[in-house]
């Protein structure tokens, strides 16, 4: 759980993201974000956001993790990382110094961050301290698992309108109980992967018509 100081900083971080949002959308490289947070206190949110941006990178015309920050993707990722301590994350951030002297992970540019992650995965740089190497890999694995799971589960279009008990509620215009939360308004993980999600009614009717022509018995 974050302390009040951390929450204050969360707010300032959110404000930072808001003010830099336009720049991010127009393709500001991860390096610029890294430079911007240099010198400020680095929170677990900063570190996870930087990891998310490295795991699922963005470029102009090719949206990724960073483009979903304004929809709260790092909040969502953090919700599943309660088992990852601040100390471990801060240690992960600080250990970049072994590869890039004098610099932390969040202060690195995009390509540098990728090089650091490769060093963590390979472990060679940290072979003199196997415990540290193992801990860094643990942080990487936990964050990678959570980031990919959230991002490629169609966040933020992964919620279906539901009643108080969580039961999906169809819109009055939908008599067929078709619930596909994906839209064309936003590029999500499903869109990146070209995944259509559950069949829509027109597709369902087409599939049904096709199956009706097939004799099912041998």
Partner 1 sequence: MEGSVTYDAVVVGAGSAGCIVAARIAERGVNPRTGDRLRIALIEGGPYYFKGGPPRPGYGDPERRRRITNIRFLEFKPQPWPYDGLQNKMVGGCGLHWGGNAYLPFDEDFDHWRQVSGVDWSPEKFAEAKAEITQMYHIHSSILENMNRGNLLFHDAASSLGYKVTPVPMSRYNCINCGYCGSGHFCKYDAKGTTLPYIDLAERNGVEIIPDAEVEKILIEKRGTTPVAEGVRYVRSGQAGELRADKVIVTCGTSGTPVLLLRSGYGPREVLGDRTIVENPNVGKHLDGDIGRSVVCLFDVDLKDGSRGGVERWQLSLTDSQGRHGWMNVQMNDSPNCSVDEMYPHLLAFHPMAPEFGWEHKEFMRTAGKRVGGISVTLRAPDWERGVVDPNGKHLYRRDDPAILKRLDEGAEVALAIIDRMNPRPVRVNRKFPNRYTVSHNVGTCRAGENRKTSVVNSDFECHDVENLFLASGEVVPSGSLGHSHIPICTVAAYAWRRIVANHFSRGTP
> Is omega for the bond preceding 81 within 30 degrees of 0, making it cis?
no
Q: Which of residues 111-140 bind partner 1 (CB under 8 A)?
A: 114, 117-118, 121
Q: Which stretch binds partner 1 (CB under 8 A): 38-46, 66-74, 79-87, 173-181?
A: 173-181
3-class SS of residue 102? coil
3-state secondary structure (DSSP) of residue 199: coil
Told to check if 47 binds partner 1 by CB under 8 A, we report no
Nearer to partner 1, 19 or 145 (CB): 145
Among residues 152, 156, 186, 187, which is the contact residue for partner 1, using CB under 8 A?
A: 152
What are 70's two structure tokens? 């304004």
Closer residue to partner 1, CB minimum distance, 14 or 144: 144
194 part of the interface to partner 1, by CB under 8 A: yes
The answer to whether 41 contacts partner 1 (rule: CB under 8 A) is: no
Q: Counting beta carbons within 10 angstroms of the beta carbon of residue 54, is it exposed (0 to 12), middle (13 to 18) or buried (19 or more)?
A: buried
* Residue 16 is a binding residue for partner 1 (CB under 8 A): no
What radius of gyration do the chain's Cα atoms show?
21
Sites for partner 1 among residues 59-118 (CB under 8 A): 62, 64, 114, 117-118
Give the separation between CA 106 and CA 13, rounded to whole angstroms.
13
Least distance to partner 1, CB of residue 38, Å? 22
In Å, what is the CA distance from 62 to each residue of 4, 22, 90, 184, 192?
36, 15, 30, 15, 9
Which listed residue (153, 161, 174, 201) binds partner 1 by CB under 8 A? 153
Closest approach, Cβ 201 to partner 1, in A, equals 12
Instruction: Specify the 3-state DSSP secondary structure of 59.
Output: strand
Under the binding rule (CB under 8 A), the answer on residue 168 touching partner 1 is: yes
Residue 29 binds to partner 1 (criterion: CB under 8 A): no
Torsion angle in degrees (nearest 10) through CA of 67, 181, 168, 171? 120
- The torsion angles phi and psi of 62, rounded to 5 degrees, stand at -140, 75
Work out the angle between the directed axes of helices 130-151 and 44-55 (0-180°, nearest 10): 70
Which CB, 10 or 51, lies closer to partner 1? 51
For binding to partner 1 (CB under 8 A), which residues are involved?
54-57, 62, 64, 114, 117-118, 121, 144-145, 148-149, 151-154, 160, 167-170, 177, 179-181, 189-190, 192-196, 198-199, 203-204, 207-208, 210-211, 214, 216-218
């Amino acid at each position: 759980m974050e302390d009040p100081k951390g929450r204050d900083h969360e707010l300032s971080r959110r404000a930072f993201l808001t003010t830099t949002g336009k720049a991010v959308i127009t393709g500001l490289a991860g390096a610029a974000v890294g430079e911007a947070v240099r010198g400020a206190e680095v929170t677990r949110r900063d570190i996870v956001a930087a990891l998310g941006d490295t795991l699922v990178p963005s470029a102009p015309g090719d949206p990724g993790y960073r483009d979903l920050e304004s929809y709260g993707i790092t909040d969502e990722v953090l919700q599943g990382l309660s088992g990852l301590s601040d100390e471990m994350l801060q240690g992960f951030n600080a250990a970049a110094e072994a590869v890039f002297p004098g610099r932390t992970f969040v202060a690195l540019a995009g390509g540098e961050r990728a090089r650091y992650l490769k060093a963590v995965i390979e472990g060679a740089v940290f072979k003199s301290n196997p415990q540290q190497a193992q801990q860094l890999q643990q942080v990487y694995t936990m964050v990678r698992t959570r980031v990919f799971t959230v991002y490629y589960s169609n966040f933020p279009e992964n919620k279906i309108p539901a009643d108080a008990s969580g039961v999906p509620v169809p819109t009055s215009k939908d008599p067929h109980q078709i619930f596909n939360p994906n839209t064309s308004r936003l590029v999500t993980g499903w869109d990146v992967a070209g995944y259509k999600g559950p069949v829509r009614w027109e597709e369902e009717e087409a599939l049904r018509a096709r199956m009706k022509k097939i004799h099912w018995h041998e």
